[in-house]
Amino acid sequence: MKNNFKKTVVKLATQAGLTINNSSNSDLEVYDENFYSRVLKEGSLGLGESYMDGLWDASHLDEAIYKILVAKLDKNIKLNLSLMFDLLLAKLTNKQTKNKAQEVAQKHYDLGNDLFAATLDPMMVYTGAYWKTADTLEQAQIDKLDLVCKKLDLKPGMRILDIGCGWGSFIKFACERYGVSAVGITISKEQAKLARELCAGYPIEIKVQDYREIEGVYDSIVSLGMFEHVGYKNHRLYMKVAREHLKDEGLFLLHTIGRNFSGIAIDPWMNKYIFPNAVLPSPSQITKATEGLLVMEDWHNFGADYDKTLMAWLENFTNNWHKIRDKYDERFFKMWKYYLCCCAASFRVRDMHLWQIVFSKNGVPGGYKSIR
């Protein structure tokens, strides 16, 4: 039986242009024969967990995963009963209620500020960068933050809201460069603690708060990399909240990862280990959620830039691992590396995208001027 598992996996790998255990030029090195059965029985979850368990490795992990995605090997492996049950549960229940939303904060964003400091740029920006003219991660993130400010047409004296503010990088930047004041909300206590320190001395208020608890009305609203946690059953409510708290003449910028199809869950491995209960939106899900509520003024896709961002994060994480390895074990190292490589490959193959969408409440008089 084990031999049959191996033959099947080797055949699939060959279809993807992958070589296994080829001493001269190998894409994958398999150290334990149980790898083959786990992949066939458990699909992407088995592939990721067997990597974390040390059953296999790849010298260029991102490229190996890219080849798997290009060949759509995941479509050749059927879902097991456990994964089918998870999908059914996602269909029947709301997995992004206020209480359930706390799970991603506890399992991901509260992992430790030292981990993210080791991975990200000096400003702690945890969203895809804009590499149009930049040569470094830091400059690409500065260019992205500045791009957002320009798209929102920020002016001194404006009061803005950042939904999912992270460590406060955007609102601090906007206060410094554009003279605004800001409120930032996050559900992560660890993020809020450091954000308050980094934003000290600026007209910024950081709140540990769910988007369903927002108060006040703002000149502009921004959300960078938070919509992925809202869930398709709550998209409409989220857009209603944005409209309710935006001034009539204001602009709302939604910066989100998206995908080509309308789904109800993310990859099983990613859901279990990285972003529990996350759901990437599709274009139709977003437009359906905003229909009759907001006017879509501009839609900008620079998802290819996220590949470069993730590879820069991987380099940072690998180079800084020695600083934090006493707190995180080797299995965690493999998990974090696998996460970054999987995401990079997904953007590279254009399965995932990075969208910045600008909305108004009633349409910009004379038309909105797109900025790139």
Residues with a catalytic annotation lie at 343
**Helix 330-348, helix 61-70: angle, nearest 10:** 50
Closest to 231 in 3D by CA, of 21, 130, 89, 36 = 89
CA angle 48, 66, 261 (to 5 degrees): 85
Q: Please give the backbone phi and psi of residue 145, each rounded to the nearest 5 degrees, phi first.
A: -65, -40
For residue 218, list its beta bridge partners: 246
**Helix 330-348, helix 34-52: angle, nearest 10:** 100
Contact 225, 256 (CB under 8 A): yes
What does DSSP assign to residue 20? B
How many other β-carbons are positioned within 10 Å of the β-carbon of residue 366? Answer: 6
Alpha helices (H) along the chain: 2-15, 34-52, 61-70, 81-92, 98-104, 113-119, 137-151, 169-178, 189-198, 235-244, 268-273, 283-290, 304-324, 330-348
Q: Please give the backbone phi and psi of residue 252, each rounded to the nearest 5 degrees, phi first.
A: -120, 120
Closest to 356 in 3D by CA, of 154, 55, 150, 182 = 150
Closest to 98 in 3D by CA, of 236, 242, 255, 209 = 209
CA angle 160, 166, 170 (to 5 degrees): 45
How many other β-carbons are positioned within 10 Å of the β-carbon of residue 29? Answer: 14
